[in-house]
Amino acid sequence: MNPEYFYVTTPIYYVNDVPHIGHAYTTIAADVLARFHRHLGHRVFFLTGTDEHGQKIEQAALEKGETPIELANRVVARFRSLWRNPEHPEKALNISYDDFIRTTEPRHKDRVRDFFEKVQSESIHGKSIIYKGEYEDWYCTPCETFLTEMQLQDGKCPTCHREVKKLKESSYFFRLSEFGQILLDGYQSHADCILPQSRMNETKSFVEGGLKDLSLSRNSFSWGIPVPNDEKHVIYVWFDALFNYMTALYDSVKDPEECKKFWGNSLHLVGKDILRFHAVYWPAFLHAAHLPAPKMIFAHGWWTNDGKKMSKSLGNVVDPYAMVEKYGADPFRYFLLAEVPFGQDGDFSIPAMERRINADLANNLGNLFSRTINLVLKQREGVVPHPDKDQMMRPDAMTYTALIRFIEGDATEKPALLFLTAALKRCAFSEALRHFSSYLDRANDYVDKMKPWEKTGRDPREIDTILFSLIESLRLISLMIYPFMPTKAQAMWENLNLPGKISDIQNLSEIFKWGLYPAGTTLQKPNALFPRIEVKK
């Protein structure tokens, strides 16, 4: 059977800044999807990286007395070590990317020039797509965006509210004004290509409002990819940056047929602030180069901190390194995706995070885990008993109705894997996690009601069946939480004495079935999975 392909990307991050919660958020979300698809046996290509050109980086380097590439090299190391840290894995977010692209790499620069030339040779409605002219407008350097007088708010950038400056320079232009109908037709024929729906509506009205040609080059600074055959100009940083999704894919995957399959099921995760670049400019650039649009763009919301916008000047930026150090990567990953529906804005607060970690992870999951293993140690000397079919099917045994039904489904409930797959397909991470939590509730309720510690007057086969059902639930739980909390899932897997690495699994649909735990296995004392956080009064 042909494998399915899945290509997921994060934005490539500017290297003038250290990683913050926004970078971590998108990257964790992409990692969850990549891990889930790998478990399903799909061919996955997960790309992240850094955006290293442009005036903003040139300026930041100048202020720090470095060359732009020195600055980029220093900051890129910070990003990489937050994603993965082979010497100290516990300090990183454990991001399983397949490729990390830097826009300063020759493999990227050369291809971007090729794309520029390709587009340059094309025309639309009888006019060349790229033409040379003179640009005069406002420019916001931190956002690397041109703005019209109308777009300014109190004379400042409407996005970051910083000073803008007037730019007049000779420039290459992209004939975006001719692409409106092509873009609208594309949105129409691929209803889910921009999600959530509200972002699709926003994008459509922007395009319907009329598009202006886009300046595609700059000549007042030099930190960028030179325009082919006119080296005084550097290519506009967004043209350069957006093509990373193509340059890295073609460089890494090589086989053009495979690349097409990946592209055919591609998903760009982006923050809402950079939606227009991805949903308007990018498909237009691709169309101009005779390439199809990405399959889906999902724009997530923004985090505030205790109700306030995060900014360096306010000093309230959430530092992901500090969060990982204090709470561990997995609880932090879990919190970000469980707390707020992906797509909506959310407010970050330490008390909210501590409350959630204690309630969902320490109490609900951690307790179920340790209490179940302790019961097997105490009642069966650590050996997981065989279930008894008759006991399982007893109408009062609860096993079938509660736990198995969740996994296997019935007329009233979707099988868990179908539910999770459907939720993750829509990037509904918090919904997937709520469903997962409801299984924990059921399992805890099952222990409380079945009281496997009460032996008097009971058939030992009933207790065997209860204990087996609980251990089997833990196996299924570790599979369910793996994409979100890979390290904790592996720790559970090992504690259940299951073979191999959970990350190597590629046949989830075969093993995500009730009853496959190998009875007769001996268990060791449980690890403390999620220690309770002492909450300061």
Q: Where does this chain touch ligand MSP (CB under 6 A) — which range of 7-15, 257-265, 323-331, 349-357?
A: 7-15
Of 35, 75, 83, 47, nearest in space to 324 by CA:
83
Q: How many CB atoms lie within 10 A of CB 84?
A: 15
Contact 497, 526 (CB under 8 A): no
Q: Where does this chain touch ligand MSP (CB under 6 A) — which range of 13-21, 184-192, 419-427, 524-532?
A: 13-21
Among 5, 7, 12, 399, binds ligand MSP (CB under 6 A): 12
In the complex, minimum distance from the CB of residue 273 to ligand MSP, in angstroms, rounded to a whole number: 5
In the complex, minimum distance from the CB of residue 340 to ligand MSP, in angstroms, rounded to a whole number: 10
Q: Is the peptide bond before 292 cis (omega within 30 degrees of 0)?
A: no
Q: Does 273 bind ligand MSP (CB under 6 A)?
A: yes
Among 271, 331, 366, 452, binds ligand MSP (CB under 6 A): 271
Q: Could you identify the residue written with the tokens 């000073």?
A: 163
In the complex, minimum distance from the CB of residue 180 to ligand MSP, in angstroms, rounded to a whole number: 22
Spatial distance between the Cα atoms of 488 and 485, rounded to a whole number of angstroms: 6
CB-nearer residue toward ligand MSP: 26 or 478:
26
CB-nearer residue toward ligand MSP: 101 or 416:
101
Q: Where does this chain touch ligand MSP (CB under 6 A) — which range of 92-100, 202-210, 228-236, 267-275?
A: 267-275
Q: Does 23 bind ligand MSP (CB under 6 A)?
A: yes
Q: Does 294 bind ligand MSP (CB under 6 A)?
A: no
Q: Does 11 bind ligand MSP (CB under 6 A)?
A: yes
Spatial distance between the Cα atoms of 281 and 242, rounded to a whole number of angstroms: 9
Four-residue CA torsion sign, 242, 295, 194, 285: positive
Contact 475, 519 (CB under 8 A): no
Q: Given 3-state DSSP classes, what are the helix, strand and coil percentages for the chain, each rounded to the nearest 5? A: 50, 15, 35
Q: Does 25 bind ligand MSP (CB under 6 A)?
A: yes
In the complex, minimum distance from the CB of residue 105 to ligand MSP, in angstroms, rounded to a whole number: 15
CA distance to 24, 95, 184, 490, per residue, from 290 (Å): 33, 33, 17, 44
In the complex, minimum distance from the CB of residue 216 to ligand MSP, in angstroms, rounded to a whole number: 15
CB-nearer residue toward ligand MSP: 242 or 402:
242
Indicate the residue whose CB is closest to ligand MSP. 271
In the complex, minimum distance from the CB of residue 278 to ligand MSP, in angstroms, rounded to a whole number: 7
Four-residue CA torsion sign, 118, 121, 127, 133: positive
236-255 residues in contact with ligand MSP (CB under 6 A) are 241-242, 244
Q: Does 347 bind ligand MSP (CB under 6 A)?
A: no
Q: Does 279 bind ligand MSP (CB under 6 A)?
A: no
Of 49, 51, 48, nearest in space to 223 by CA:
51
CB-nearer residue toward ligand MSP: 12 or 207:
12
Among 71, 75, 274, 491, binds ligand MSP (CB under 6 A): 274
299-328 residues in contact with ligand MSP (CB under 6 A) are 302-303, 310
Spatial distance between the Cα atoms of 158 and 154, rounded to a whole number of angstroms: 9
Spatial distance between the Cα atoms of 217 and 275, rounded to a whole number of angstroms: 21
Spatial distance between the Cα atoms of 360 and 21, rounded to a whole number of angstroms: 21
Q: Does 333 bind ligand MSP (CB under 6 A)?
A: no
Four-residue CA torsion sign, 244, 249, 254, 260: negative
Q: Number of residues in contact with ligand MSP, rule: CB under 6 A?
A: 20
CB-nearer residue toward ligand MSP: 22 or 483:
22
CB-nearer residue toward ligand MSP: 188 or 344:
344
In the complex, minimum distance from the CB of residue 18 to ligand MSP, in angstroms, rounded to a whole number: 10
Q: Where does this chain touch ligand MSP (CB under 6 A) — which range of 132-140, 268-276, 447-455, 482-490?
A: 268-276
Of 166, 169, 168, 147, nearest in space to 158 by CA:
147
DSSP 497: T
Spatial distance between the Cα atoms of 53 and 74, rounded to a whole number of angstroms: 14
Spatial distance between the Cα atoms of 151 and 158, rounded to a whole number of angstroms: 7
Four-residue CA torsion sign, 258, 422, 355, 298: positive
Contact 266, 296 (CB under 8 A): yes
Q: Does 384 bind ligand MSP (CB under 6 A)?
A: no
CB-nearer residue toward ligand MSP: 72 or 270:
270
Q: Does 51 bind ligand MSP (CB under 6 A)?
A: yes
Among 5, 6, 13, 493, binds ligand MSP (CB under 6 A): 13
In the complex, minimum distance from the CB of residue 499 to ligand MSP, in angstroms, rounded to a whole number: 39
Spatial distance between the Cα atoms of 105 and 107, rounded to a whole number of angstroms: 5
Q: Could you identify the residue written with the tokens 């760009």?
A: 268
In the complex, minimum distance from the CB of residue 19 to ligand MSP, in angstroms, rounded to a whole number: 9
Q: Does 49 bind ligand MSP (CB under 6 A)?
A: no
Task: Give the interface with ligand MSP as residue ranges (CB under 6 A).
Answer: 11-14, 21-23, 25-26, 51, 241-242, 244, 270-271, 273-274, 302-303, 310
